[in-house]
Structure 1
Amino acid sequence: MDIDTRHFGKITIKDEDIIDFPEGIPGFEGTKKFVLLDDGDKSSPFRWLQGVDNPELALVLIDPRYFKPNYVVDVNDADVEILDIKDTDKVLVYSIVVIPEDVSKMTANLKAPVLINTENRTGKQVVTENNDYKVRHYIMEELKLIGGQV
């Protein structure tokens, strides 16, 4: 299937790569189908959650464990059931990144990670029950400390 995206131009995706977000993502509830993209640089910690049924939408993602190795997702049983998680090793964990004009103020949402069950290609943005995590966690200094690409 070909889609004409806002940020990546025309791309071809396979049906088996489409991830279903039955509830959409808060703020983008109308977009239910996404695909994970990278820019071809495997060393980059960033990925994009590209809308399939809304090609104008692409969210920047990062695995929070890249800069916060002890990050733990603690979600409720209802979210586990919605995602039909049987094996936590088959679940990808991402934080949505906001990149403002002043890149030094880049943030990741640690409070509400995006989980993707790779077994059934289902995703959901969940709210972790850990109150230590913030919606706007500044990540630029942490990325610099570990030598991450920005």
Structure 2
Amino acid sequence: MPAIQTAYFEEVTFPETSVIRFERGLPGFEHETEFVSISREDCEPLIFLQSVKTPKLCFVTMPVQPLCPDYRVDMQSDELEALGLAEGQPPSIGSELACLAIISVTEDGPPTANLMAPLVIHVSTSRAVQVIQSNPAYELRHPVGGVACS
């Protein structure tokens, strides 16, 4: 089983089949294409996306549903293609797709979630893409309450 050294979780082993692949990278991190998901019981519902290549790169995320129960992700044809989904096939968050919001923490404010640009992962193939939402109801800094690690 492969292992990576991380800055925050020491050494992490994982099955190769669990690697989440962003074939186009992420905005600002175009060369970072492979991540592993790390969940800790004491930090639920947070999910850490650790770069396979860069030990210090780890995104703190959480599912969008607890933040916005009626959240809908609108995807363009190229985004559907990147996930291996057919155009016209409405994606289903929860069973088919995981939809994660990146969490930001600042020194002078509470944590916030980026609902404007969620990370969408096709659960069965582990292919992923960051989707820029056009819905003005979704905020870049949506308040997050009651989430902390012990």
TM-score (structure 2 length as normaliser): 0.86
1:33 alignment counterpart: 34
Which 4+ stretches in 1 moved above 2 angstroms?
Answer: 85-89
- Report SS of the residue matched to 2:56: coil
Q: Is the 8 A contact 1:76 1:129 kept in 2?
A: no
Q: How many residues align?
A: 141
1:70 alignment counterpart: 70
Structure 1 counterpart of 2:96, from 90, 98, 105: 90
- Report SS of the residue matched to 2:117: coil
- Residues in 2 aligned to 1:80 and 1:38: alpha-carbon distance in whole angstroms: 26
Displacement after TM superposition at 1:14 (Å): 1.1
- Report SS of the residue matched to 1:78: helix
Q: Is the 8 A contact 1:3 1:52 kept in 2?
A: yes
Cα RMSD over matched residues?
1.6
1:5 alignment counterpart: 6
Q: Is the 8 A contact 1:3 1:11 kept in 2?
A: yes
- Residues in 2 aligned to 1:133 and 1:124: alpha-carbon distance in whole angstroms: 18
Displacement after TM superposition at 1:4 (Å): 0.5
After superposition, residues 1-150 of structure 1 pair within 5 angstroms as 1-41=2-42, 44-85=44-85, 88=92, 89-102=95-108, 104-139=109-144, 143=145, 148-150=146-148
- Residues in 2 aligned to 1:51 and 1:21: alpha-carbon distance in whole angstroms: 11
TM-score (structure 1 length as normaliser): 0.86
Structure 1, unaligned runs of 5 or more: none
Structure 2, unaligned runs of 5 or more: none
